[in-house]
Structure 1
Amino acid sequence: MCLLTNSMTCFSASLSLTLLWRTFFVKPLAA
């Protein structure tokens, strides 16, 4: 879905979303 010229931006965005998801959903479940 990401353009080849925006690969780094897409990678950064997806990584940030993954970290946010883990922070808000995984940690409360594990706590």
Structure 2
Amino acid sequence: MNEQVGERGTGYREGIVGTFLVALMLFTFVFL
């Protein structure tokens, strides 16, 4: 069960990072 939780946590964390990167790219594009 620990492995499953770790995988879910990693996937959830990657999703947040991906969304943050997209938002950062859009913000940079608008700023430039």
**Unaligned 5+ runs, structure 2:** 26-32
Percentage of identical aligned residues = 8
Counterpart of 2:13 in structure 1: which amino acid? T
Q: 1:13 aligns with which of 8, 27, 30?
A: 8
The amino acid that maps onto 2:3 is: M
Structure 2 equivalent of residue 3 of structure 1: none
Q: Which has the larger radius of gyration?
A: 2
Where does the alignment leave 5 or more consecutive residues of structure 1 unmatched?
1-5
CA RMSD, 1 decimal: 0.8
Number of residue pairs aligned between Structure 1 and Structure 2: 24
TM-score normalised by the chain length of structure 1: 0.65
